[in-house]
């Protein structure tokens, strides 16, 4: 069974990847000219931002579901 610090280490690594992917999607928006591709990239970033919030809530034990 994982310890609390071990769980946070694992979730922290994934959270960093999610943050980086969101940042990269927003950078890519500026590099493409197709409005549909831009919308897809922005949607991707927004979904990843929501996932980042879920990880942050888990780490902070803010949501009843994580208690």
Cβ neighbors of 19 (< 8 A, separation 6 or more) are 48, 52
pTM of the model: 0.83
Question: What kind and span of H or E run contains 26?
Answer: helix 4-29
The CA-CA-CA angle for residues 19, 21, 27, to 5°, reads 105
pLDDT at 34: 98
| DSSP classification of residue 63 | S
Handedness of CA 32, 36, 38, 40 (dihedral sign): negative
Read off the pLDDT of residues 9-66 as tens digits, 9 standing for 90 and up: 889 999 999 999 999 999 999 999 999 999 999 999 999 999 999 999 988 888 777 6
Tokens of 26: 């927003």
């Amino acid at each position: 069974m994982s310890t609390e610090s071990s769980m946070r280490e694992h979730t922290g690594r994934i959270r960093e990847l999610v943050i980086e992917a969101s940042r990269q999607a927003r950078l890519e928006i500026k590099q493409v000219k197709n409005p549909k591709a831009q919308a897809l990239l922005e949607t991707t970033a927004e979904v990843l931002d929501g996932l980042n919030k879920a990880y942050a809530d888990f780490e902070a034990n803010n949501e009843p579901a994580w208690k």
